[in-house]
Structure 1
């Protein structure tokens, strides 16, 4: 059983600015500093592109977590997808969409689908505990992206 997590934000900046901020590993790390998140890219570059992998290390729920994702779809500046290749979930697919609001900003939509391990027990934990937690993290990241994009100083 999968859980769907979605977050929508409106940002007063162009889709290309928001897209580039979302694919910046340093911006990602800064947005989640409270969980001691780090992001290490497979290329050593901070800006991710199609096929690149990034390994995240963080502390969530008092535990150390490690997850690697790969950019599997890259349609600049309107959409990209990252998917877990190693980590705590059976499946994690995160789609990022950036819709131009006729020159007055960007609607950024994060749509994440997770499937937890451990069958029915994992599905219940994912829906009750993990999905709301991930939704808060997505909103926190979106607020950070919004701040940087609107300040014009990424």
Structure 2
């Protein structure tokens, strides 16, 4: 089972980083390049324990849907989401948060199983693990960018953030 671990240091309050990490709205922003939209379940705001979201996105030129559910939740230090249905055989994405003197250390642990047996293992080794790592690194970059600016609090309070200076990649 492939595992991706990413550690991100964010100069912001742990509560803010925790909430931005479970924000459906910020997730949409971080995945604009895949045309990802929430189509069922919790489709905006903050997702919580036992809640689910169904995403529709374009990956590798094909539109796919994936439903995940928050399976563990310990506010504001941990939550995990797990695939209910989708293209993977399974996945569990853990989100860990530690406050270190005003800096939040956010660690993602993403364990997944690809479908299609040996072909899935081959896909993991050739491109899938790299692709998934890139998606998670970009998501964390956006969480960090919003948390370290006024845009994070604006997003969570329902104010419309100014995206005029927002750059992708």
Maintained 8 Å contact 1:28/1:39: no
Matching residue of 1:111: 109
Matching residue of 2:69: 70
Which segments of structure 1 move beyond 2 Å, counting only runs of 4 or more?
none
Quote how far apart the aligned CAs of 1:124 are: 1.8
Gaps of 5+ in 2: 153-169
Quote how far apart the aligned CAs of 1:139 are: 0.6
Quote how far apart the aligned CAs of 1:35 are: 0.8
Maintained 8 Å contact 1:41/1:52: no
Structure-2 change in CA distance of 1:83 and 1:10 (3 Å): same
Quote how far apart the aligned CAs of 1:23 are: 0.7
Q: Where in structure 2 are the equivalents of 1:1-154 lying within 5 Å?
A: 2-40=1-39, 42-43=41-42, 45-103=44-102, 105-154=103-152
Quote how far apart the aligned CAs of 1:7 are: 1.3
Maintained 8 Å contact 1:57/1:65: yes
Maintained 8 Å contact 1:4/1:113: yes
3-state SS of paired residue (1:92) = strand
Distance across 1 between alignment mates of 2:59 and 2:43: 25
Maintained 8 Å contact 1:67/1:84: yes
Q: What's the C-alpha RMSD, in Å, of the aligned pairs? A: 1.2
Larger relative CO (CA 8 A, sep 6+): 1 or 2?
1
Maintained 8 Å contact 1:49/1:71: yes
Q: Deviations over 1:100-143 (max 9, x none)?
A: 1122x111111101101111111121232111101001010111
